[in-house]
Amino acid sequence: MSLLFTPLQLDSPRGSLTLPNRIVVAPMCQYACHLDGKASSAQPWHGGMLISKAQGGWDTVAPSPVHLLEGEDPPHEIDAAGLVAIEAAFVKAAQRAQAMGLEMLELHGAHGYLLHEFLSPIANQRQDNHGGSFANRTRFPLQVFKAVREVFDGVLGMRLSASDWIEGGWNLEETTEFTHMLKQAGANFIHVSSGGISPQQKIAIGPGYQVPFAKHIKHAVGLPTIAVGLITEPQQAEDVLKADEADMVALGRSFLYKPRWGWEAAAALGGKVQATSQYWRSLPREAAGIFGDAKIGMR
């Protein structure tokens, strides 16, 4: 099974970051996906305090007016009315996704985006019932997830940073407990990444460096789990799945560098792909068979 994600950014005070009428384009993407047995997916997110005014960004909001770099304009703390508006924006995004016919949604709660900011004590220093304790910090992200679950009938999950990679930050234990809560709220899967909340993070980067997080959560919670992070080679991805460390692997930058990564994986692992006949001439001898019955030089 393969999935194709498309971003669905939320509304903002200065206009939508993505046009709501993208809904007319979606059926074409949906049709293209289904031709090859892929599910079509969307990833709603809110940028929080990541967009710098110095780079032409807007006035931003966050759980707390915390600036992460010296000289940076602090965001505005979200008030009660703002929380209601943001939750409603997530719901509208989910409703648009459903109207498009998308089959799967992944809420982005990692990498310093707004829902991650609420989870992390580094970014969330509120003094009300949305800050401080684990129960308080998870309240709004869980509330948003439940609201989306109510209006979206398809597969629904969330992407989380399992660690802030900084002392006193969000950690694997809290991620595991929050994933239990998401499962009880109707989550169908969890996508496990890490980092992104602070420039002070110290990340131990290496091939598959986030896979242990996914493995821990998969076996602790029993929810289908996606692993991601420097998974670059087909055999490496296959090994993660065979070792039961995750149920799926996600690739982003690998496809930017190798747009035909899927074809290379099929050649390396003995699989097959569907390709329009114009591509058959490109078939190298070492990849013979990945286009099924097509022969080298055929069209």
Query: Distance between CA atoms of 107 and 186, rounded to whole angstroms?
Result: 13
Q: Which residue has the tokens 């049709």?
A: 31
Q: What predicted TM-score, i.e. pTM, was given to this entire model? A: 0.84
Count the neighbouring beta carbons within 10 Å of the beta carbon of residue 205: 11
Could you tell me if residue 208 is left (phi over 0), alpha (psi between -120 and 50 degrees) or otherwise beta? left
The catalytic residue positions are: 113
Using one digit for the tens of pLDDT, what is the confidence trace for 103-143?
Answer: 999 999 999 999 999 999 999 999 999 999 999 999 999 99
pLDDT of residue 14: 53
Using one digit for the tens of pLDDT, what is the confidence trace for 197-226?
Answer: 999 999 999 999 999 999 999 999 999 999
For the chain, what is the mean pLDDT?
A: 86
Using one digit for the tens of pLDDT, what is the confidence trace for 17-32?
Answer: 454 554 544 444 444 4
